[in-house]
Amino acid sequence: MSDVKIILVEPAGERNIGSIARVMRNMELTKLTIVNPRCDHLSEDARIMAVHGVEVLEKAEIVDSIPQALYGCNRAIATTGRQRDVHTTLETPKQAIPWLKADHITSALIFGPEDRGLSNQELSYAQRFICIPSNPAYPSLNLAQAVGICAYELYQISQESIEPENLSVEDLVNLEDLEGYYQHLESVLLQVSYLYPHTAPKKMEKLRRIVNRANLTSQELAMIRGILRQIEWSIEHK
Taking the C-alpha atoms of residue 223 and residue 168, their distance in angstroms, rounded to an integer, is: 18
Q: At residue 58, what is the residue type?
A: E
Q: What is the pLDDT of residues 16-54, one digit of tens each?
A: 999 999 999 999 999 999 999 999 999 999 999 999 999
Is the pLDDT confidence value at 2 over 90? no
β-strands 4-9, 75-79: how paired? unpaired
Say what the pTM is.
0.84
Q: Name the packing angle between helices 218-236 and 175-191 (round to 10°).
A: 20
What is the rounded radius of gyration, in angstroms, for the C-alpha atoms of the chain? 19
3 state SS for 174-195: CHHHHHHHHHHHHHHHHHCCCC
Give the pLDDT of residue 164. 57
Give the pLDDT of residue 102. 72
Give the pLDDT of residue 59. 96
Q: What is the pLDDT of residues 81-130, one digit of tens each?
A: 876 555 678 999 999 999 988 767 889 999 999 999 999 999 999 999 99
Q: At residue 219, what is the residue type?
A: Q
Q: Which fold has domain 169-236?
A: Helicase, Ruva Protein; domain 3 (1.10.8)
- The DSSP symbol for 163 reads P
Is the pLDDT confidence value at 169 over 60? no
180 dihedral zone (left: phi>0; alpha: psi -120 to 50; beta)? alpha
Distance spanning both ends of the chain, measured CA to CA: 52
Where are the domains positioned within the chain? 4-159, 169-236
Give the pLDDT of residue 162. 57
Is domain 4-159 given the CATH code 3.40.1280.10 in the classification? yes
Does 4-159 match 169-236 in CATH topology? Answer: no
Tell me the torsion sign for CA atoms 138, 140, 141, 142: negative
